[in-house]
Chains A and B, each alone.
Chain A
Amino acid sequence: MNNLKRKRFSLTPALPSLISILIGLLAGIIVIVIADSSKALLAVRNLLLGPLYGIYNPNQSSLTGIGNMLFFMIPLLMTGLSVGFAFKTGLFNIGASGQFMAGSYVAILLARKLTGIPNSWRWLVALAGAALAGMLLASIAGILKAFRNVNEVITSIMLNYTSMYLVNHLIRATGLYDPLKNRTLPVQTEIPKFGLDKLFPKSFVSGGILIAIVIAIICYVLLYKTTFGFELRAVGLNRHASRYAGINEKRSIIMSMALAGLFAGMAGGMIHLAGVGRAIQVRDVLPPEGFDGIAVALLGLNHPLGIIFASLFMAYLKVGGQTIQTLGFAPEIINMMIGIILYVSAMAVLIRKLLSIRAKKQSETKALGNSDGELYAVHDPPDPGATAAAEKLPPESEDSTNMAISAVQEEIEEDKHG
């Protein structure tokens, strides 16, 4: 536990993330060059400058760009936390999209209907409602996982679509529909800016970013400094051993999923209460924020503080994607890059783990020779390097290395379908 403190600021664990980012950026640049080489130089410059494009644009301050970036960061950070938090308990929350959608709807519903509450703090009620909506939706997946061991990935996918169709239906059924624009009606209440609008003038910046960062820090404390987090992570790493140790692993799974849903639901609420005119488009398409969250969480190594940086980076990229739109490049290029980054980091994380497993396997064989020595040191004092990594397994555990690999898998997703 104390050693975590030392490791946290080392760059080594982030290496695969950095490699994935580099490969993603490179791929993006190549696509830009292929698509339109005449404007490529300008486009690449704008893409890389992202929110800082004010440097080359006298009409636009870089502060505005940064403000916009902080706005884009809100859903990325919150869905990133959602996915990352669930990951820590060994759950893959692919349902952040549906939870985001549910949160968005409830936020708008409450913001428009609870006119008895003054504008100045109605946003708080609406945001709480959004959090609750996301939490309830995700809890379904958590409960099924805990009590019936139903794979949460499949449940979440199904809940995504259920949520999407229901919300689109309810928008009309509850009178939130603007038929002209095919989207929800505007809301009159918003999260306070806490002075950020002075700092980043003419931007979308919202006080939500401060709330999101505070939540990320709370997440960190919760996971790494409390007994609750100790339990959640133990369940994520080894559900059986946790149960054996008396941890209520069912409760941990449900709580973890519920909190994950809470974060994703809040993400939806924060965006639509940011006072920048965002509305739910009534289309049969899942909001992309949930899937972005997967990439953010993975890049941030599922660590709340890492996720802050990862979401900052992705928001930077998104602003860059917007700026190159004016040059005629489709902003989808950013999603392509996110896809590539996610793909590479999916492998990179495991490559790193496999490397360490391989190193261990080698020294495991090393332990074959001196098994007595390890216990009694009757021969030589055990070589710390060798025994540190040595893992000698009983004959019953012939599949030891498979176990090691599946333990790696377990960290991300524990069981198979059903």
Chain B
Amino acid sequence: MVRIADVFQSVLTYAIPLMVVALAGMFSERSGVINISLEGTMIMGAFTGILFIHTMQRTDLMSGHLLLLTGLLISMVTGILYSSLHAIAAINMFADQTISGTALNIFAPAFAVFVARSIIGVQQIPLGNVFRIAKVPVLAEIPILGPLFFENAYLTTYIGIAILIISQIVLSKTRFGLRLKSAGEYPQATDAAGVSVVKMRYAGVLISGALAGLGGLIYVVPISTEFSPDVAGYGFLAIAVMIFGQWKPLYIAAAAFFFGALKTISFSYSSLPVIKDWNIPGIVYKVLPYVITIIVLFLTSKKSAAPAALGEPFDKGKR
């Protein structure tokens, strides 16, 4: 028999990285820059973070959650650096944002495989999975919520939830959020108000890079013991989550949870009670997130919630 808490935890391991990366996409797109390079940025972030963790674990220089946190920091910095390439192309060079993103998606896995092979001989980087928290003291005793959130948990889950809360506050309650959104909706207004559109868009893309890099690592850590530079299309799935979440943090969280549940079912539907009896082939659960996104796009096409100036380059000297 499968425990509900186990299923829930499984859902979280899929949903949290999806949510973080979808929020990454949101920051970029709310500032007006299309970012389909999430996949590549995840790979880069996961790659450097895991390479670091792998090296530390092998040499015993650092361990425990300090190691994880340092790894996350490295992933974020990598993401920022990598996405700055997209920022330069999209914001300064007026490049086509979709093509620039595609280029970064092509480059990242090739780079990671190449470097991994050059450094450690094979492309798979082994990773000691030692970051699981069996029970969070005190909190695990809370009825219902305790087993769901505080048993067999990962620090990354809490970090993800913190990122959600902060994103929501930043976007709706701060000066920065207001300016960022204005750059994505009508940059001419941002500019006329004396706010630099370029700065806002850089901020959006770089935050996006930081979160996507971090998302790459927290995708890998709970589910694998090795990383063969690849995040299985999660970066693209995150775009679906972002659209399904209508570019709004709380909706994105709900969409990520829903898609995470579908992922869990697609992997383990045969052992899940009730669902097992539906006799729906696993393939349905696998393609459902993508199909649903297409349907949502179809239904919402008349009043899209996408930022109005998404993908439009802005040249300050011109009115």
Q: A–B direct touch, CB within 8 Å, in complex?
A: yes
Q: Taking the complex as formed, is B195 at the interface, i.e. its CB lies under 8 A from any CB of chain A?
A: no
Check B298 against A413 for contact (C-beta < 8 Å): no
Assembly CA distance A162 to B236 (angstroms): 12
Q: Which of B136-144, B145-153, B167-175, B311-319 contacts A (4 or more CB under 8 A)?
A: B311-319
Check A418 against B103 for contact (C-beta < 8 Å): no
Q: Taking the complex as formed, is B85 at the interface, i.e. its CB lies under 8 A from any CB of chain A?
A: yes
**Contact partner of B103 among A346, A361, A412, CB < 8 A?**
A346
B29 to chain A, nearest CB (A): 8
Assembly CA distance A354 to B89 (angstroms): 13
Residues of A within 8 A of B309 (CB): 416
Assembly CA distance A51 to B220 (angstroms): 39
Check B301 against A150 for contact (C-beta < 8 Å): yes
B103 to chain A, nearest CB (A): 4
A20-43: CB near B (< 8 Å → 1, else 0) gives 000000000001000110000000
Check B114 against A35 for contact (C-beta < 8 Å): yes
Q: Taking the complex as formed, is B67 at the interface, i.e. its CB lies under 8 A from any CB of chain A?
A: no
**Contact partner of A339 among B34, B103, B239, CB < 8 A?**
B103
Residues of A within 8 A of B109 (CB): 332, 335
Q: Which of B41-79 contact A (CB under 8 A)?
A: none
The binding surface of chain B is classed by DSSP as helix
Q: Taking the complex as formed, is A284 at the interface, i.e. its CB lies under 8 A from any CB of chain B?
A: yes
Check B99 against A412 for contact (C-beta < 8 Å): yes
Q: Taking the complex as formed, is B255 at the interface, i.e. its CB lies under 8 A from any CB of chain A?
A: no
Residues of B within 8 A of A284 (CB): 232-233
Assembly CA distance A342 to B111 (angstroms): 15
Assembly CA distance A92 to B319 (angstroms): 28
Assembly CA distance A209 to B284 (angstroms): 37
A139-154: CB near B (< 8 Å → 1, else 0) gives 0100010001111011
Residues of B within 8 A of A334 (CB): 110
Chain B residue nearest to A145 (CB atoms) is: B301
Residues of A within 8 A of B223 (CB): none
**Contact partner of A149 among B103, B188, B301, CB < 8 A?**
B301
Q: Taking the complex as formed, is B6 at the interface, i.e. its CB lies under 8 A from any CB of chain A?
A: no
Check B301 against A418 for contact (C-beta < 8 Å): yes
Q: Taking the complex as formed, is B212 at the interface, i.e. its CB lies under 8 A from any CB of chain A?
A: no
Check A339 against B315 for contact (C-beta < 8 Å): no
Assembly CA distance A285 to B43 (angstroms): 14
Residues of B within 8 A of A332 (CB): 109-111, 113-114, 117
Chain B residue nearest to A351 (CB atoms) is: B93
A159-170: CB near B (< 8 Å → 1, else 0) gives 111100110010
Check B105 against A291 for contact (C-beta < 8 Å): yes
**Contact partner of B102 among A31, A294, A405, CB < 8 A?**
A294
Residues of B within 8 A of A155 (CB): 294, 297
Assembly CA distance A108 to B70 (angstroms): 48
Check B107 against A417 for contact (C-beta < 8 Å): no
Q: Taking the complex as formed, is A406 at the interface, i.e. its CB lies under 8 A from any CB of chain B?
A: yes
Check A94 against B298 for contact (C-beta < 8 Å): no
Most chain-B Cβ atoms within 10 A of its Cβ — which of A36, A160, A284, A417? A417
Chain B residue nearest to A399 (CB atoms) is: B319
A297 to chain B, nearest CB (A): 10
**Contact partner of A285 among B105, B110, B118, B230, CB < 8 A?**
B230
B255 to chain A, nearest CB (A): 14
Given the known interface contacts A346-B95, A416-B310, the answer about A158 and B283 at a Cβ–Cβ threshold of 8 Å is: no
B-contacting residues of A (Cβ < 8 Å)? 31, 35-36, 92, 94, 140, 144, 148-151, 153-155, 157-162, 165-166, 169, 284-286, 288, 291, 294-295, 298, 330, 332-336, 338-340, 342-343, 346-347, 349-351, 354, 361, 398-399, 401-402, 405-406, 408-409, 412-413, 416-418
Q: Told that A333-B110, A339-B103 touch, could you supply 11 new A-B pairs with CB distance under 8 A?
A: A155-B297, A169-B281, A169-B283, A286-B233, A288-B106, A339-B105, A340-B107, A343-B107, A346-B96, A402-B318, A409-B311
13 example contacts (A-B, Cβ-Cβ < 8 A) are as follows A154-B239, A158-B291, A158-B294, A330-B113, A336-B111, A338-B110, A339-B106, A346-B95, A347-B100, A351-B93, A402-B318, A417-B304, A417-B311
